[in-house]
Structure 1
Amino acid sequence: MLLDLLRWPLPRYRRDSAQAHHGPEGYRNLYPFKQPGFTDLLRWNWQRRRLRVEHRLQDIRRMVPDIAALAANRERPSYTWIGHASGLIQLAGMNLLLDPVWSPRASPLQWAGPKRLLPPAMSLHELPRIDVVMVTHNHYDHLDFHTLRRLAAQEGGSPLFVAPLGVGRTLLRAGAPAGRIVELDWWQRHRYGEIELTLTPAQHWSKRWALGDRNRALWGGFAAKGGGAQLWYPGDTGYHPELFARIAEHLGQVDLALLPIGAYQPRWFLAAQHIDPAEAVEIFRILRPRRALAVHWGTFVLTDEPLHQPPLDLAEALHRQGMDPAAFTVPAIGETFWLDAASSRQTP
């Protein structure tokens, strides 16, 4: 982890003046917002000192994945929630990992920073061989050096690493081979075997550790399509109806949407950059996927809401909108969803 702190060459910023989200000094959002500054951070941390939050970990469901079934699977599209934003996607006979973080802290240091309160659903050595790793942006709860280094050294050769523009240099420092990194701009696609990956826009920002690196790497979400199914994860994002209407039009039918529901309080600080459960429901209404799963919660204490609270707020939002909760469900950590048979849910 010291490598992440001590060697911090700034990402090479490749500006295309024809692109509205390529600014003079870094990338910017399609619908700009004032990004939190140092004084905002101080205010938030001062307010947090008075909070007494109880995290009822016993209310967060967990189950043991069927590791043998996942290892043998070559045909059935599936998604297994590992925890937080990390998930195993199986499409067209390939194994894809989304934002893999196995470390005990979402931090450049493993003795400080947000601590993992619930372990990953399976260990790295229990995973099937990984073909593709997708990293949505460079924040520590989505890009983890220790995990990526081990994946790059997996038996049989490194997976392909796919990430937004500017994230490649960080992936190199994390151990990914130079010839196995693909960087994408918003709406760019990359074909790998029978899989097509598309980087979709998001309302967020980027920063790792170095002074001056804010927004010099892009952020986004991923659509993964293959084997007759399409999955989409928006990445960390704030809500804007026009943005998600554009994404819905561009992607067409989405079989499974992985929608973030955690890390949203306090709203004065986080609304522009992280959706809350009610906004996740609005995205579900706009996108109209066959079904949705609630992710990006239940693992790290990153913000002020209790770790078990997001599913409760999601249930209330679905009820308020008169929507069927069976279409937008809360998985257990370790649960596998098979997308065949009309996207019906199956658990180990």
Structure 2
Amino acid sequence: MFRFVCLLFFLGPLLLLACTPSYYRGPASDHFDGQRFSNPGKPMHKTFFQVLKWYATRERQPWPEYSSLPFTDHPPPRVAGNGLRVGFVGHVTLLIQTQGLNILTDPVWSERASPFTWIGPKRVHPPGIRFEDLPPIDLVLISHNHYDHLDLATIERLWQRDRPRIIVPLGNDTLIRQRLPGASVEARDWGQQVVISPALTVHLEPMHHWSARSPWDRNRALWAAFVLATPGGNLYFVGDSGYGDGDNFRAARNKYGSFRLAVLPIGSYDPRWFMASHHMNPAEAVQAFVDLGRPPMLSTHYRTFQLADTAYATPLHDLRAAMQSAAVPEDRIRPLMAGEHWWVAEAVPVEDGD
């Protein structure tokens, strides 16, 4: 991995000269200074030399070699009405089926989360749904531009096959259109929305993160959480986020009232001196779950790509401990293995208990 970072450092200028997109330009706001985005009141800048320090001193915990899955998911063509089926492909890639629509989040079917096909973080399991078994995709949601979330090769396959609508935070549209000039990409800011159908509106909301495709384009594109508003209840999806002080989660609850399902990441959180502002650990994810009003929660961001020092098995072990500490019933937060799916019941209010 250290070699991977060094390659980016030395090859980055060449990559940028060859394929630098014209990132978003627009009026300044509380999270955009005219060129770069930020988390208001929560600076989280890490210098490239801090990145090198982490890679030079890191203590990588055990991960397995590549292995196949015991089974893969075979989703139905559609799920009508208020039915809600979520298939776990791996990492943070989900197939969400509801209201007759097929929705993918941060779709990654590539072997590596990398700008290169020959080096960089590599899958330890195949996708939990074979690409050939995907039903027609109507909508793609992309939370930010890191390679484990925005996979241009997969987006190209989906566009060539299904022509889905693609919803992204500001600036990420230029990355996709550079590869696919004709793609239907719609970019929005925090607090904005896209009406997909009479039964689905997608809202973009803050999450505590950052963006970059190289060391030289940091925070030139925005990151966002998504709220999917449907007649069957609101769904809340976070691709990556640090906990910050929890204000984003509390604000989402205050704005939307309740959630039928919350999707929160729990992995890639060590060492804490470097990762705390980037990724929640399981205890922070459980606190975010409390901040959101204790909705049913699906955990993600584990057991696919080794992106930090956290061991393969540790996130789920730490999640169980955090749930016990917070007295969270086992059926309230559900970790899936790639290839599994979840039929989510309609929302039932739950008392805070705190």
Fold match by TM threshold 0.5 = yes
Aligned to 2:7: none
2:111 counterpart of 1:112: no
Structure 1 residues 253, 34: closer, same or farther in 2, change over 3 A?
closer
2:153 to 146, 153, 169: 146
CA gap 1:280/1:63 in 2 versus in 1, 3 angstroms: farther
2:108 is matched with 101
1:299 matched to which residue of 2? Answer: 304
Give the whole-Å Cα distance in 1 for the aligned partners of 2:230 and 2:281: 30
How far apart, CA to CA, are the structure 2 residues paired with 1:208 and 1:244?
27
**Could you give the per-residue CA deviations for residues 155-177 of structure 1, whole angstroms, max 9, x where no partner exists?**
xx410010000000111123262
Alignment gaps of 5+ in structure 1: 344-348
Instruction: Kindly indicate whether residue 14 of structure 2 is the aligned counterpart of residue 9 of structure 1.
Output: no
Find the partner of 1:55 among 52, 63, 69: 63
> 1:127 is matched with which residue?
134
C-alpha distance in structure 1 between counterparts of 2:111 and 2:179, whole Å: 17
Which residue of the partner structure matches residue 346 of structure 1? none
SS state at 1:333 partner: coil
Please state how far the C-alpha of 1:28 moved relative to its aligned partner: 0.9
- The answer (yes or no) to whether the contact 1:158–1:176 under 8 Å persists in 2 is no
Task: Measure how far apart 1:237 and its partner are.
Answer: 1.0
Greater shift, 332-341 or 101-110, is seen at 332-341
Query: Does 2:77 match 1:71?
Result: yes
* 1:218 has 2:222 as partner: yes
Deviation at 1:205? Answer: 0.8
Matched with 2:5 is: none
Cα distance in 1, alignment partners of residues 89 and 102 from structure 2:
14
Deviations 1:174-198 (Å, cap 9, x if unpaired)?
Answer: 32624x1110100111001121101
Residues 326 and 126 (structure 1), Cα distance of their counterparts in 2 relative to 1, 3 Å cut: same
Q: Tell me which amino acid in the other structure corresponds to 2:228.
A: A
Given residue 272 of structure 1, which amino acid in structure 2 is its aligned partner? Answer: S
Unmatched runs of 5 consecutive residues or more in structure 2? 1-10, 349-354
1:12 Cα deviation from its structure 2 partner: 2.9
Q: 2:37 aligns with which of 16, 21, 27?
A: 27
CA contact 2:64–2:124 (8 Å) conserved in 1: no
Letter of the 1:134 partner, please give it: L
Amino acid at match of 2:90: G
Q: Distance in 2 between matches of 1:36 and 1:270?
A: 10
CA RMSD of aligned residues (A): 2.3
Q: 1:312 to 1:58 in 2, by over 3 A?
A: farther
Question: Is the Cα–Cα contact under 8 Å of residues 73 and 340 in structure 2 kept in the other structure?
Answer: yes
Which deviations, in whole Å up to 9, do the C-alpha atoms of 1:125-161 show, x marking residues without a partner?
Answer: 210000000000010000011100000001xx41001
| Residues 185 and 111 of structure 1, relative CA distance in 2, 3 Å threshold | same
Distance verdict in 2 for CA 1:6–1:84, change over 3 Å: farther
Query: Residue 254 of structure 2: SS of its match in structure 1?
Result: helix
Is the alpha carbon distance of 1:264 and 1:202 closer, same or farther for their aligned partners in structure 2, counting shifts above 3 Å?
A: same
**Residues 184 and 209 of structure 1: CA distance in aligned 2, closer, same or farther (over 3 Å):** same
* Corresponding residue number in structure 2 for 1:309: 314
TM-score (norm 2): 0.88
Sequence identity of aligned pairs in percent? Answer: 35
Letter in 1 for 2:39: N
Name the SS for the 1:97 alignment partner: strand
Change (3 A) 1:170 1:265: same
Task: Tell me the SS of whatever aligns to 2:321.
Answer: helix
User: Are 1:327 and 2:293 an aligned pair?
Assistant: no
Take 2:66 and 2:292, find their aligned partners in 1: how far apart are those partners?
32
- Relative to structure 2, which stretch is displaced further, 181-190 or 318-327? 318-327
- Opposite residue 145 of structure 1, the aligned amino acid is L
What is the match of residue 260 of structure 1?
265
Query: Which is further off, 5-14 or 27-36?
Result: 5-14
Using the TM superposition, name which of 34-43 and 141-150 deviates more: 34-43
Cα pair distance change 1:6/1:97, threshold 3 Å: farther
Paired with 1:23 and 1:249, the residues of 2 have a C-alpha distance of 27
Once the 2 structures are TM-superposed, how far is the Cα of residue 307 of structure 1 from its aligned partner?
Answer: 1.5
How much does 1:311 deviate? Answer: 0.5
Distance in 1, matches of 2:80 and 2:15, equals 36
